[in-house]
Amino acid sequence: MVPEPSRDDASSLSRHFRATLAFGLPLVGANLAGLAINVTDTVMVGWLGATQLAAIVLASQFYFLMWIIGAGMAFAVVPLASNALGAGDTTRVRRSVRMGLWILTLYSSVAMIPLWFAEDIFLALGQSPEITSLAGIYMRVAVWSLFPAMVLAGLRSFLMSLECARFILVATISGAMLNVLLNYMFIFGNFAAPEMGIAGAAVATVGANIFIAAVMAVYIIVRPNTCEFKIFNRIWRPDWELLLEILRLGWLLAEMGLFMAATIMMGWLGTIALAAHGIVMQLVAVAFMVPLGLANAATVRVGVAFGRFDGQALGRAGITAFIAAGSMSLAIAVIYIALPEFLIARFLEMGNAKSADVLNFAKPLLFIAAIFHIFDGLQAVGLGILRGMKDTRVPMYIAVFSYWLVGVPAAYLFAFVFAMGAIGVWVGITFGLVIAAVAFLHRFVRREQISLPVK
């Protein structure tokens, strides 16, 4: 575990910066490895053609929307467990994790219903019948990965609160490597496996999620630093107060709803637009894992300080997280601007007739995405810090306003009223993220008035 700076050391930003990076960078790696499962599916299905690529973009965005709602509930365990650890209350840690697993189990059983009927939903939203049919084939298999993915998210949150970042990284990398192997087998029919095309990618995703969840469960049961919490003991016993607290802290719908709305609009613009959008979204998602890992670290470190009523350490942990995320997001933005063709081409089989069209369509989108990413990183860290302080009600209002009352209408206005097309969609969603990032940062600066006075 990364040692928490003492109160005597709290005045040193450099110590907090090192602590944030020591804990946050393995989480960045774990996030990247987890995302690699989805990216690998997209890349390898993209080798089949632009239509298959567009289909998996549509399907995976819808799956990710359902997943992220559950992941938000799982992530709500982190500040609760961190606060309890800071206060020395191991019983509350166990109960927080237990109620998190309850909610995730119930949620996955409900969320599988719209996923099962994804094809009908896409058709009702005006998507291409050909793309929709392929997306439905993928989803009818991928839906079975949701339950292990939710259990995995809950166990990961528990391990994150204990700062077991290195094990999370190793387990997730192992699962991502298994996913590559299974994709190679079932998409293309290698090693005597059936050639399943886009459905093979879904089979790989199911297998990888089951594997990672099982590895984490075994680790928690056998390791001395985790088994002492006995999170699986009397798992049937409820704690209604904590269950409601997790539901209150666990919203993550607003931003992912913005991205799903953008994907639907891209589908209205055609197969090439949707395929190009999907590639840029994958690149943005990869980049987002960096500030997200730092946001995860900030939630834990701020949460522990909050549980100890250590306002000075809380402020230092938050400031260093903002500095680290802003600096790394800026560096990634420069890479996107400098190497657009190289990055986009990784997702395409350039011998395919439509690949050049997708490449040319995606390049200007990636330029806008570079700007988008800076503010996306800042809002992620801002939200992570506020979660660590258990401050979620007003941030939820900010997110709904920024993404749904600004981002989505602006995307539609620029794309279809001002006839900017795909570029307009990305300009609109960037507007929403800018407002959210500024508002979350302002709320953190005003933390003494809203949550924890500095001692």
Angstrom distances, CA of residue 255 to CA of 250, 261, 264: 13, 10, 15
**pLDDT(38) > 60:** yes
- Band of pLDDT at residue 2, cut at 50, 70 and 90: very low
Mean pLDDT of 319-324: 89
**pLDDT(431) > 70:** yes
Both tokens of residue 185? 């087998």
| Measured distance between the N- and C-terminal CA atoms of the chain, rounded to whole angstroms | 26
DSSP H helices in 5-89: 13-46, 50-75, 77-87
Both tokens of residue 309? 């009523």
Are 83 and 303 a contacting pair, CB within 8 Å? yes
DSSP H helices in 187-270: 198-222, 224-227, 240-249, 253-268
What are 164-181's pLDDT values in tens digits?
888 998 999 999 999 999
- Band of pLDDT at residue 90, cut at 50, 70 and 90: confident
Q: Using CA atoms, how far apart are residues 135 and 52, in angstroms rounded to an integer?
A: 8
**pLDDT(143) > 80:** yes
Specify the residue for token string 């056998």. Answer: 222
Both tokens of residue 262? 């953008």
pLDDT score at 12: 64
What are 324-364's pLDDT values in tens digits?
889 999 999 999 999 999 998 887 776 666 788 888 899 99
- Band of pLDDT at residue 390, cut at 50, 70 and 90: confident
> What single-letter DSSP state applies at residue 347?
T
Neighbour count for residue 291 (Cβ, 10 Å): 31
